[in-house]
Structure 1
Amino acid sequence: MAVLPRPGSAQTFTIDTSTFLNEEREHLKIHPKQEQENESSDEEELLTDEDGDNFVPEDMIFVPSDVLYNNKWDTLYIRTGRMDAAGMSDSVLLLLNNPAESPFTFPYKGKLISKYGPRGSRFHAGMDIKLESGDTIVSAFDGKVRIARVMSGYGKMVVIRHHNGLETVYGHLSRILVNINQDVKAGEPIGLGGRTGRATTTHLHFETRFRGEHFNPGKIIDFENYTLLTDTLLISKEFWSSVRGSSPMVTDGSGPGPKYHTIRSGDTLSKIARRYGTTVNNLCRINGIKPTKVLRIGTRIRVG
């Protein structure tokens, strides 16, 4: 018998949860066998044969996103910390189509004008969708607004953390319609399309991220038919390895493929060059920047 997840608990882990089980008891849905071992008297809503497609594998437990992020709730910057994606040892299964939540809704049904991947000397971390100024943008999944502010490059931007641990980013808005800490449903308006920030035309810049690391939204979304490609997404070391050659997933300077460093307070080009055993001139060459470039906290610079 499997357990139906409540809203807010839409992802699965294959890790040992004994360290936080008691603290998160009221948020987690535990497999009956584990429930007996822990001698809990909490009532559980169990699936029956009538639930059909709602069936969830018996070896899964559901973990709320605040456990995933260790309760890190930064309302200023997209990245909440550094994740060693290349050294990830525990696999995480995200439930994208949760029957206990509102169904996925495409943020804006417009033409895809720029894909995820390298763009000249820069890396484009999302998908650009053509629209007209004032067009309504909606949330892709249920979640809570973590960021709603103007950010360099993104312009007026909204970041939503979803209950399965995924985060979605909506940039270049002309107007923000939600507030920080506001709960939103899939399909609920969150902003109006525009051209704020670094943009050459009116469009929506849309990103998908997991624990701060961006990945290709095309892995889970069909941008031609505006639907989900899969009901689940397995996040593992192999997942990051498959995109490492085309995206800046390695943040510690190790592993094959391009290496990137995330700018932190106090960083300078010379300090970064010393750390990675290179020169300022080389950093400027591979990033297409000048030695006088202002380094903004939270952005990335290629180091190898």
Structure 2
Amino acid sequence: MSDTAAHRLLLVHAHPDDESIGQGATMAKYVAEGRGVTLVTCTAGEMGEILVPELEHLAADKEDGLGAHRKGELAAAMAELGVTDHRFLGGFGTYRDSGMKWHEDGHAVAADEVHENAFWHADLTEAANHLVTVIREVRPQVLVTYDEFGGYGHPDHIQAHRVAMYAAQLAAVPSYRRDLGDAWDIAKIYWSAMSASRIREGLKRLRDAGDTTTFEGMDPDHLPPFFLRDEDITAEVDAGDYTEQKMAALTAHATQITTDGPFFALSNNEGSWIWGRELFRLVKGTPGPVGDNGWESDLFAGVPAG
């Protein structure tokens, strides 16, 4: 990240690929505009499923080499987005992917067995201190992470939320851990958001395009509660011009994401609408000017440069 970038964004994510799915277009847009973008990834995603048959030997119950492989995928994805400052919380291998299972209600929960070094078991203050160091070094005006449910309940997403929010508080206290750098108060904090109305419309488009398997069983009229009402969303970054970079980043995460199915075929036709408009929920700070839809269009809106 450039030391001279007037605006600086910090994103805190749980696993490699989460960043490209959630804010890949926004990241590419801000890099292209000369803004600083720093990504902190909390685990290497060691427990992820493997969609590439010839790499199944890397699974956690076999060679357990998926984390190192996904580190390379993340680097390739960041190259596609133009992000040069990407780090693992506490350094690569400090925290392990906790894994998950699906609850009967349709959201993720902790797996029956969790590794002793799993991020879910991390000491909150210890993990937050790793992030405090980054915050005080980078001095971001904007932080993006998950909501308190981690989007869909994944324990590592929930823990990433806890660590990010706690670290943001600690980093702002001048007398706290002076050895970690000078205090820095992040002006605006956003949680990533998903719009219920857009999911409904998107499901209809998918079905009309012949995709009956993506989000199979999801009823557009009875969506899970982690999809938000539009009135609870506060910002939309229109980064449609960077959809191609986002898709390339998603493709780089080959063990986790396949881009040749109907879901991505649809996105190629309407990529700007589906992938290039990313939503956020302001939870700290003063909102800047809003558009006709009542949402900010820039996460840095109202934030002085410097």
The structure with more radius of gyration: 1
Is the structural similarity TM-score above 0.5? no
TM-score by length of structure 2 reads 0.25
- Which of 1 and 2 has higher RCO (CA within 8 Å, sep 6+)? 2
TM-score (norm 1): 0.25
> Per residue, is there more helix in 1 or in 2?
2
